[in-house]
Amino acid sequence: MLKWIFRGLIIVFVSYIIYIVGYPFVVDVSSLKKKNPELTAMMKYRIKQWERDGKKIKIKKMWIPVNRVSPYLVKAVLIGEDDKFYSHSGFDIEGIKKAIEKDIKEKKLKYGGSTITQQLAKNLYLTPSKNPVRKIQEAIITWRLEKTLSKKRILELYLNVAEWGEGIFGAEAASRHYFGKSASELNAIEAARLAASLPNPIKYSPVGNSRFIEKRTNLIYFIMQKRGIIKEEYTEPEEKDSVPVLEEKQEEKELPSIQKDEPVQPQLK
């Protein structure tokens, strides 16, 4: 009897390992070259969550090509979420190291150091869970996305499936919901506010007056000015090198560091 139980446990364990490694290779990443996703895994997760909580919320989403998104929003999102997007292959090693150090210090899986590609992998195919299994699957899917799609397409997908509030997905839906205009018409400050809310869009509204949103918006806007993205007169701070630094409370997610002196990201082609 013990022998059969042992064999059964081995079969279960092997099946689980196959699932962990196999699932990321089964998802149809190649179809994303031309096909836009309908309902993502994150959207389905939220729908089940709303049903469980008895909430009557409908998903708002409208697809918009990346070349029609305001350049201000594209730059603001890159600055806020993944400033090294064009130079890495899906993983920000420095950001991951910092996240691991904080996880060890706080003795919990809390910080991710996720790039835009990693966030896209999670949004498309996985859940918000921070458990090690999900992170392994995310890493494999991230690698496949980077190998299969162009940076422009990855960014386009991300801007269209990112969560921007309860039931609000994508830049176009978010822009219309919060500012009453298309994402193509956003000005610099509006773009900075939308980007500022991405770390926790359920908790922080782009049009809210939270200290976190105000501070992060000002920093993103400052960097856009510094890099010449915003065509305005730029004035140096009174004190030398007194550039605001992103800080976050313990309950807020870890963000990739924003480097104020890095060159402007290359133009989308």
pLDDT at position 115 is: 95
- Residue 97's alpha-carbon distances to 21, 152, 173, 252, in angstroms, are 23, 27, 34, 18
Lowest mean pLDDT among 36-45, 79-88, 241-250: 241-250
Residue 127 pLDDT exceeds 60? yes
CB 127 within 8 A of CB 45: yes
| Residues 200-243: tens digit of each pLDDT | 999 999 998 899 999 999 999 999 999 999 875 444 555 544 55
User: Cα–Cα distances in Å, from 19 out to 6, 12, 25, 144, 215?
Assistant: 20, 11, 10, 17, 42
Give the alpha-carbon dihedral of 135, 136, 138, 140, to 10 degrees: 160
What is the arithmetic mean of pLDDT over 62-90? Answer: 96
| Ramachandran angles phi, psi of 163, nearest 5° | -85, 130
> Number of H helices and number of E strands within the chain?
10, 2
Residue range 72-78: mean pLDDT, rounded: 98
Average pLDDT of span 132-157: 95
C-alpha Rg value of the chain to the nearest Å: 20
State pTM to two decimals.
0.79
User: How far, CA to CA in Å, does 176 sit from each of 170, 171, 180?
Assistant: 10, 9, 4
Lookup result for tokens 């809390």: 110
> What pLDDT, on the 0 to 100 scale, is given for residue 64?
98
CA 119 to CA 100: how far, in whole Å?
17
pLDDT digits (tens, 9 = 90+) for 82-117: 999 999 999 887 866 675 566 555 555 454 568 999
pLDDT bracket for residue 13 (50, 70, 90): low
User: For tokens 């139980």, what's the residue?
Assistant: 5
pLDDT category, 158, cuts 50, 70, 90? Answer: very high
Reduced to 3 states (helix: H, G, I; strand: E, B; else coil), residue 162 is coil
Q: What are the φ/ψ torsions at residue 216 (nearest 5 degrees)?
A: -70, -35
Select from 184, 183, 197, 195 the least CA-distant residue to 221. Answer: 195
Strand, coil or helix: 234: coil
- 166: number of Cβ within 10 Å: 15
Q: In degrees, to the nearest 5, what angle opens at C-alpha 207 toward C-alphas 205 and 213?
A: 65
Mean pLDDT, rounded, for 134-150: 95
DSSP bridge partners of 60: 168
264, pLDDT greater than 60: no
Higher pLDDT, 105 or 63: 63
Higher pLDDT, 266 or 107: 107
In the chain, pLDDT over 70 holds for what percent of residues?
77
Q: How confident is the model at residue 263 (pLDDT cuts 50, 70, 90)?
A: very low
Least confident among 36-40, 134-138, 184-188, 242-246: 242-246
3-state SS class at 197: helix
Work out the average pLDDT over 149-154.
Answer: 98
